[in-house]
Amino acid sequence: MMPKQAADDRGFVESAAAGADGAARAQETAEVEVAASVRALSKSFKKTRVLEDVSFDVGVGEALVLLGASGSGKTTILRIIAGLEQPDSGSVILHGRDVTDLPARERGVGVIFQSYALFPRMTVQENIGYGLRIRGRRRREVKEKVKSLLELVHLEEHRKKYPHQLSGGQQQRVAIARTLAYQPQVLLFDEPFGALDAQTRVRLRREIRALLREVNVPAIFITHDQEEALELGDRIAVLHAGHLEQVGTPEEVYNRPETEYVATFLGAANLLLGVAAGGRVELGTASIEAGAESARFREGQSVKLVFRPEDVHLSLTGALPEGCRRLTNGVIEEKHFVGAYERLTVRLDLVARLPSAGEPPLYEVTINTPETSLGVPIFVTRPKPEVSATALKVGDRVAVCLTAFRVLPNFALASERASRTLDTQK
């Protein structure tokens, strides 16, 4: 639910006051703003649970992205909202009206199917006018509406063509226009760009965003592409095995992931196993100041330190910038140039605690063995300006600090490896 999400832990960066404030604001406006919502949806096919207690809202004029891996239940949610599938429990509410028991045709939702599902024996204009014709509107009215919709989606010169004579992108616009004709309460897009090449995808999703702003119809997009989700959505709902993991703005889900799955599914993330202790997180031989982040964990609880490769700062001198929290030291093990940034693997000294007196702080922690495979590897990315300011090479010892991170509970078994690095993007 929207107010709840806003009220949920705002992360350590923002003050508690700002969080409470945001929650209160959302609470006030939630009643008017919600265009569509699903409540506690559950669904099983045969004996397999496909959806488990899924709830979320879509505000008026808002675009929500349902993001999840293949088979996570995205299409099933969409079909339930559209009335093409019946939930086992839970309800679908459109503009304050419970439509759970209404058949698809009485719900007034627009579905843009992955295959577009244009009627093959109808021309573009017949496809677009279909919703009005079956509603028995007068021919003049249908004609005018179709004309304006053709203009809206820029397909005037294709109006007499049949769907198979159009490109994928054009077909998609016909599909959208076909649903806009009857003023749907909400638009549902099932993997709208799945069938298109990468370049067209990017262009089309900008076009669709612009179009949606113009018509001001709330939309739910389905995708398993995280980049697409970040760009399309006003908010993103991350679905994992039929379970909603987190709902929030792109910034929220990216910067303040609530779960390990969200952290790793949206972009790359380093995960380090640790223990919450006295406002800090202890990671073997190292520890990091966690402040409010660790406040919700009891003393000694097993936690995971989650941070993105771009939130790591490396320093040759040991001098750390303001606001960057020291983690430990490490050795640069690999270095790749990947265009926009530099990508490094750094092996952290997280094994032995041997601070010897008199040494500079950089060497506070050392690995006192020639075995380089000890320690824990993490991924780090450095933007171009930083790369040109300080060049780093393989074998360099560096101090490692984090500009942002999350501390999440560790539900994994104790037998799990001490740490692991996940990178879903590459």
Ligand X SMILES: Nc1ncnc2c1ncn2[C@@H]1O[C@H](COP(=O)(O)OP(=O)(O)OP(=O)(O)O)[C@@H](O)[C@H]1O
Exactly one of 2, 6, 36, 74 binds ligand X (CB under 6 A); that residue is 74
Question: Which residue is it, tokens 């503009």?
Answer: 95
Q: 3-state SS string over 264-295?
A: HHCCEEEEEEEEEECCEEEECCEEEECHHHHC
Q: Which of 224, 304, 308, 406 binds ligand X (CB under 6 A)?
A: 224
The nearer residue to other proteins, 187 or 392, going by C-beta atoms, is 187
- Kindly give the residue spans of alpha helices, DSSP state H, lying in 157-303: 168-180, 198-215, 226-232, 250-255, 260-265
Closer by beta carbon to other proteins, 60 or else 117 = 117
Residue with Cβ nearer ligand X (49 or 95): 49
Query: What is the distance between the alpha carbons of residues 330 and 376, in angstroms, rounded to a whole number?
Result: 9
CB of 17 to other proteins, least distance (A): 45
Alpha-carbon 368 to chain mean position:
42
Contact of 160 with 123, CB cutoff 8 Å = yes
Q: How far is the CB of 211 from Mg ion (least distance, A)?
A: 23
Alpha-carbon gap, residue 133 to 36, rounded angstroms: 26
**Nearest residue (CB) to ligand X, 191 versus 293:** 191
Residue 315 bridge partners (DSSP): 399
**Least CB distance to ligand X at residue 179 (A):** 19
Using CB under 5 A, count the residues that bind Mg ion.
1
- Nearer to other proteins by Cβ, of 127 and 329: the residue is 127
Options 67-75, 148-156, 167-175, 375-383: segment touching ligand X (CB under 6 A): 67-75
Q: Please pick, from the candidates 10, 57, 67, 72, the single residue that binds ligand X as defined by CB under 6 A.
A: 72
As given in the structure block, the two tokens for residue 215 are: 């018509």
Stretch 44-83 residues interacting with Mg ion (CB under 5 A): 75
Select from ligand X, other proteins, Mg ion, none the partner in contact with residue 104, using the beta carbon and a kind-dependent cut-off of 5 to 8 Å.
Answer: other proteins
Site for ligand X in 20-59 (CB under 6 A): 45, 50
Min dist. Cβ of residue 79 to ligand X (A): 8
Residue 220: CA atoms inside 13 Å, Cβ hemisphere, count? Answer: 33
For residues 18 and 20, what is the distance between their CA atoms, to the nearest angstrom? 6
Query: Please, what is the minimum distance in Å from the beta carbon of residue 342 to ligand X?
Result: 33
Q: Is 18 helix (H, G, I), strand (E, B) or coil?
A: helix
Quote the crossing angle between the two packed helices 168-180 and 198-215, to the nearest 10°: 20
Q: How far is the CB of 133 from other proteins (least distance, A)?
A: 8
* Cβ-based neighbours of 159, under 8 Å, separated by 6 or more: 123, 124, 125, 146, 150
Give the residue with the Cβ less far from ligand X, 45 or 411: 45
DSSP assignments along 184-221, one per residue = -SEEEESSTTTTS-HHHHHHHHHHHHHHHHHHT--EEE
Q: Of 214, 139, 229, 141, whose CA–CA distance to 176 is shortest?
A: 214
| Closest approach of ligand X to the CB of residue 170, in Å | 23
Q: Decide if residue 75 touches ligand X (CB under 6 A).
A: yes
Taking the least distance from each CB to other proteins, the nearer of 133 and 240 is: 133
Beta bridge partners of 401: 313, 326
Residues 353-392, mask of contacts with ligand X (x by CB under 6 A): ----------------------------------------
283 touches 306 (CB < 8 A): no
The residue (of 29 and 115) whose beta carbon lies closer to ligand X is 115
Q: β-strands 186-189, 109-112: how paired?
A: parallel
State the amino acid at position 5 in one-letter form.
Q
Q: Smallest distance, Å, CB 394 to ligand X?
A: 39
- Taking a C-beta distance cutoff of 8 angstroms, is the pair 304, 265 a contact? no
> Residue 111 binds which one of other proteins, Mg ion, ligand X, none, with CB within 5 to 8 A depending on kind?
other proteins
Bridge partners of residue 112, in order along the sequence: 189
The binding site for other proteins (CB under 8 A) comprises 82-84, 103-111, 113, 115, 117, 119-121, 130-131, 134-135, 164, 178-179, 182
Determine the residue with CB nearest ligand X.
75
- Evaluate whether 314 touches 347 at the Cβ level (below 8 Å): no
Picking from 181, 203, 180, the residue whose alpha carbon sits closest to that of residue 192 is 203
178 binds, options ligand X, Mg ion, other proteins, none, Cβ within 5 to 8 A by partner type: other proteins
Q: Which stretch binds ligand X (CB under 6 A): 70-78, 119-127, 350-358, 390-398?
A: 70-78
The footprint of Mg ion (CB under 5 A) covers 75
The footprint of ligand X (CB under 6 A) covers 45, 50, 68, 70-76, 224
